[in-house]
Structure 1
């Protein structure tokens, strides 16, 4: 199982990716989150200039944010700046859509979008919303077509998995969703968490900063999926905080600081005991505990484990997690 990295798309992300390369991570993915980040293609270009080996890609691109030509041009540019290192992942959109008050894309829209994207990179003339399109980039503006860039698709359920099998080169998953991993030769899984120091408590300031954002993802996801967050520790306090928000702004309250830090509701839940869920919602534990979790997902068929570090010391989190993953 290859060990890759993912980063919130901050201004420091290119420097963090350079550290990941030095440590030996296989690939670095950046989130497509324009509501809280600079443009993902801009940051990937900067990372390409700072690195030589590590794979680079947006994970995941949200089709409703851009015309397919824009993402095709961005992917082509990355392929030129980092030859042989570019990859792309697509999804229907979770935070990147909901944080702006929009619904995720439908599976039908995603299928049409990826078909157009792949056709453009292949040098074909494609139809998109009634217009015929082709990449017309002359020499020096993009690599010659066809441009071969691996595409992973974030999918669950019959419709999504069918599209991933039809149009994708691999599967991109989160939240320990490994049930379909064996159906794909490339099965990537994104995880969060931290390696505990000897005797460190789950409610320590370090765990709050390094694993708290990943733990909060479970609360965000359950609520947006229409499920009851009160089934989780501190869920009552999380929900109370959200419900005190102006109804027009609930989506802003939920997705504030998403996978970066803890928002007001996340902090209320943490102090009410949400930290008790951290071993279930993230890969947090001692070195040996994290190592066992990694062995479990490898056994389930995951071929690329993607770790997103959080907190004030990203290099230290990257180093500790890789030590757990490789035993070095």
Structure 2
């Protein structure tokens, strides 16, 4: 099933604008609003809980929170608490984090891949209600079990960019978040790597792949979208823009590349409420196609 969501960007909009953005997104019919946690901006889990408390239907995706910043038990407690308060509306994701930032807070690890290989299965196990003993390089648990795990554990997403991380996300996570700025062909190559790794490890169940895509609506939409893509080859193939019908048509190439969901990233210098209105219409058009 193809799905459309939108993003709240903490670089172009401040935390003071977040709750208004959440209300605008739900009113516009945006099914999912995604955010992320970059040092040293806004907390992902606090923002997610506040957004869910102010809305009725909107799902909140965290794509992503950095693993090195939190003990896996603390992350499991955060997710479990939010999931029990707002069942089925949290889409939690984790990732390596920006390595220089992790170094600033004394949390940088020598092997981010090893951390993900230990952390994500432990997180999934705790959310499933398992009691875990783990003696890893970075994750250590001694008889740890959540007292109130989610009734239905949410999918745990992992952010992935390089070839090794892409494959690892397919092996250990329930879904993968792909960053913006890629052509459909680049996205297709990432999807193949994820799904091949998952198949090789014999994992059961579907693996949900989410792709962020730069988008713009309204006047000078093309110029704004291309400017935010930056100096890359074929910039016109790395973004979508125009009227909602044109944006909906533009997302087709990314769905054809194999992703399950396209999350629209608002280009700079645009009105956020108008962006969510456009994104809601794109979601309706894609859902009806």
Alignment TM-score > 0.5, same fold: yes
Aligned to 2:209: 187
Aligned to 1:46: 50
Q: CA deviation at 1:68?
A: 0.8
Q: 1:16 to 1:178 in 2, by over 3 A?
A: farther
1:91-240 alignment, distance < 5 Å = 91-94=95-98, 97-99=99-101, 101=103, 106-123=112-129, 124-127=131-134, 129-137=139-147, 143-144=148-149, 148-174=153-179, 175-176=181-182, 177-181=187-191, 183=195, 185-197=207-219, 200=220, 207=224, 212=227, 214-216=228-230, 232=231
Contact conserved, 1:193 with 1:283, CA < 8 A, in 2? yes
Q: CA deviation at 1:45?
A: 0.9
- Indicate the RMSD between aligned Cα atoms, in angstroms: 3.0
Contact conserved, 1:196 with 1:287, CA < 8 A, in 2? no
Aligned to 1:32: 37
2 CA distance for matches of 1:100 and 1:312?
Answer: 31
Query: Which secondary structure state, in structure 2, belongs to the residue aligned with residue 190 of structure 1?
Result: strand
Deviations 1:220-277 (A, max 9, x none): xxxxxxxxxxxx38xxxxxxxxxxxxxxxxxxxxxxxxxxxxxxxxxxxxxxxxxx97
2 CA distance for matches of 1:6 and 1:54?
Answer: 12
2 CA distance for matches of 1:202 and 1:58?
Answer: 28
Query: Which secondary structure state, in structure 1, belongs to the residue aligned with residue 80 of structure 2?
Result: helix
Q: How many residues align?
A: 255
Q: CA deviation at 1:287?
A: 5.0
Q: CA deviation at 1:75?
A: 0.4
Contact conserved, 1:278 with 1:284, CA < 8 A, in 2? no
Q: CA deviation at 1:81?
A: 2.0
- Mapped pair 1:18 → 2:18: no
Give the alignment's TM-score, normalised by structure 1. Answer: 0.67
Query: Which secondary structure state, in structure 1, belongs to the residue aligned with residue 213 of structure 2?
Result: strand
Aligned to 2:77: 73
Q: CA deviation at 1:44?
A: 0.8
Q: CA deviation at 1:300?
A: 1.5
Larger strand proportion of the pair: 2
2 CA distance for matches of 1:195 and 1:76?
Answer: 36
Q: 1:325 to 1:179 in 2, by over 3 A?
A: farther
Structure 2 unaligned spans of 5+:
196-205
Give the alignment's TM-score, normalised by structure 2. Answer: 0.75
Deviates more, 1:297-306 or 1:157-166: 157-166
The structure with more radius of gyration: 1
Deviations 1:165-198 (A, max 9, x none): 222222211233232436365221112231243x
2 CA distance for matches of 1:99 and 1:284?
Answer: 32
2 CA distance for matches of 1:202 and 1:61?
Answer: 31
Q: 1:126 to 1:15 in 2, by over 3 A?
A: farther
